Chains A and B, each alone.
Chain A
Amino acid sequence: MSHPPILKVSNLTKHFSIPHGLLGRGEHTVRAVDDVSFALEHGQTLALVGESGCGKTTLVRMLLRLLDPTSGNVEVEGKDINTMSKSELRHFRTNVQAVFQDPWASLSPRMRVFDIVAETLVVNDNLSKGELTRRVDEALIAVGLRPEQANYYPHEFSGGQRQRIAIASAIIARPKLIILDEPVSALDVSIRSQIMNLFKDLQQDVGCSYVVVAHDLGTTRFMADRIAVMYLGKLVEIGPTDQMFDDPRHPYTQALLSAALPLRVDNPHEAIVLRGDVPSPVNPPSGCPFHPRCQSVIGDICKTTEPKLRELESPEHRMSCHLGSEL
Chain B
Amino acid sequence: MGASVLQVKNLRTVLDLSSGSVPVVDDVSFDVGAGETLGIVGESGSGKSMTALSIMQVLPQPIGRIESGEILLEQTNLVGMSDEEIAKVRGREIGMILQDPHTSLNPVFTVGNQVIEALQINNPGTPRRSLMTRVVDLLKKVNVADAARRVHAYPHQMSGGMKQRVVGAIAIAGAPKVIIADEPTTALDVTIQLQYLQLLREIQDETGTAILFITHDLGIVANLCHKLVVMYGGKIVESGTVSDVFRAPSHPYTEALLNSVPSVDQKVDRLYAIEGQPPALSADRKGCSFAPRCPYAQEICKRDVPQQEAGLSGADNHFASCWNMGRKT
Contacts and interface: CB of A to CB of B under 8 A. Distances in A.
Contact of A262 (B198, B263, B272): B263
A27 B267 CA distance: 46
A257 to B, nearest CB: 7
B264 A260 contact: yes
A219 interface: yes
Interface string A225-263: 000000000000000011001000000000111011111
A192 B260 contact: yes
A260 B190 contact: yes
Given A192-B260, A265-B242, A259 B265 contact: no
A13 B193 CA distance: 29
Contacts of A193: 260-262, 271-274
A218 interface: yes
Interface string B50-88: 000000000000000000000000000000000000000
Contacts of B159: 277-278
Contacts of B263: 218, 221-222, 262-263
Given A188-B216, A262-B265, A197 B271 contact: yes
Given A190-B43, A193-B271, A51 B223 contact: no
A261 B189 contact: no
Contacts of A256: 190-191
Interface residues of A, number: 43
Given A190-B43, A264-B222, A221 B267 contact: yes
A85 B262 CA distance: 42
B161 interface: yes
Contacts of B195: 273-274
A129 B135 CA distance: 68
Nearest to A144: B275
User: What interface size band does chain B fall in?
Assistant: 35 or more
Nearest to B187: A52
Interface string B184-226: 0000011111110010000000000000000011111011000
A195 to B, nearest CB: 9
A276 B190 contact: no
B198 A273 contact: yes
Contacts of B216: 188-189
A196 B242 CA distance: 27
B192 A277 contact: yes
B256 interface: yes
> Which of A196, A274, A277 has the most chain B CB atoms inside 10 A of its CB?
A277
A124 interface: no
A256 B191 CA distance: 6
26 contacts: A51-B192, A188-B43, A188-B44, A189-B43, A189-B261, A190-B43, A193-B260, A193-B261, A193-B272, A196-B271, A197-B270, A197-B271, A215-B189, A218-B263, A255-B191, A260-B264, A261-B220, A262-B219, A262-B264, A265-B243, A268-B223, A271-B194, A274-B191, A274-B194, A277-B162, A278-B189
The list of the 3 closest CB pairs from A to B, nearest first, reads A261-B219, A218-B262, A193-B271
Interface of A: 51-52, 158, 160-161, 188-194, 196-197, 200, 215-219, 221-222, 241-242, 245, 255-257, 259-265, 268-269, 271, 273-274, 276-278
